[in-house]
């Protein structure tokens, strides 16, 4: 009984460390991405402004191609989560997994920073609705996948280098279920980002004029 309790405590402690590490990585990525807009050249800033104003203009004029937008959004998340999942069953995938997660949260931060840069005070409201709920779902999905991918990768390393016996079938069964859950979250997020977010931004734009 004591042995099982020790294992449980160790697992909780490890999960807590993983969670803290991912939260720190998330904050660093979002903050650095948000500030990155400030060090861009004037030409790059103009391109960002042109892209955002063009997107908002398309929303206001109802010129959004919803189906291609949804397909591109979901396909992107599907591919990245698939790559992370595959890297999790390797013994050398940890750095790449962390890099992919950091890239995603950095991009999120850059999007927020761009909205604030282009729209100033209005950008706060745009950024809020951009984050909630679509990007929150994405962060939850990536965080969940990352925790399991890192855990599986570390167990693979222990099996290879420390010659520990692992139940590979059970691990892969649970790991595959996690991927399924994550893809469902991404599917919902892509639906919201495609069909709900533009309408919310259009409404916000109309009340801020």
pLDDT digits (tens, 9 = 90+) for 79-126: 999 999 999 998 788 899 999 999 999 999 999 999 999 998 889 999
Q: Which two tokens stand for residue 126?
A: 């745009």
Residue 13: the pLDDT is 56
Q: Token pair 């962060």 is at which residue?
A: 139
The reported pTM is 0.90
pLDDT digits (tens, 9 = 90+) for 123-154: 999 999 999 989 999 999 999 999 899 889 98
**CA 95 distance to own-chain centroid:** 16
- State the Cα angle at 92 between 187 and 20, rounded to 5°: 60
Based on the number of CB atoms within 10 Å of its own CB, is 36 exposed (0-12), middle (13-18) or buried (19 or more)? middle
Identify whether the C-beta of residue 15 lies closer than 8 Å to the C-beta of residue 147: yes
Spell out the domain ranges in the chain: 2-208
Residue 10: the pLDDT is 54
Greatest Cα pair distance, the chain, in angstroms, is 66
Q: Which residues neighbour 14 within 8 Å (Cβ) at sequence distance 6 or greater?
A: 151
Residue 7: the pLDDT is 47
Average pLDDT in the 58-85 region?
A: 93
Virtual CA dihedral for 37, 188, 121, 114, nearest 10 degrees? Answer: 10
Of 35-39, 48-52, 61-65, 194-198, the poorest mean pLDDT is in 61-65
Based on the number of CB atoms within 10 Å of its own CB, is 134 exposed (0-12), middle (13-18) or buried (19 or more)? buried
Q: Could you give the CA distance from residue 103 to residue 98 in angstroms, rounded to a whole number?
A: 9
């Amino acid at each position: 009984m004591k042995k099982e309790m020790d294992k449980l405590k160790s697992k909780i402690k490890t999960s807590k460390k993983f969670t803290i590490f991912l939260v720190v990585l998330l904050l660093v990525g979002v903050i650095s991405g948000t500030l990155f807009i400030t060090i861009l050249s004037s030409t790059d800033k103009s391109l960002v402004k042109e892209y955002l104003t063009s997107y908002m203009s398309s929303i206001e004029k109802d010129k959004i191609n919803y189906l291609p937008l949804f397909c591109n959004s979901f396909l992107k998340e599907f591919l990245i989560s698939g790559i992370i999942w595959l890297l999790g069953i390797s013994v050398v995938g940890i750095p790449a997994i962390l890099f992919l997660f950091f890239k995603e949260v950095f991009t999120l931060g850059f999007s927020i920073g761009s909205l604030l840069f282009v729209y100033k005070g209005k950008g706060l409201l745009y950024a809020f609705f951009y984050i909630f709920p679509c990007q929150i779902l994405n962060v939850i999905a990536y965080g969940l996948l990352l925790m399991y991918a890192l855990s599986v990768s570390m167990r693979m390393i222990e099996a290879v280098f420390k010659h520990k016996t692992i139940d590979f079938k059970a691990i892969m069964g649970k790991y595959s279920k996690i991927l399924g859950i994550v893809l469902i979250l991404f599917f919902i997020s892509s639906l919201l980002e495609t069909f709900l977010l533009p309408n919310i931004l259009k409404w916000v734009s109309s009340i801020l004029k």
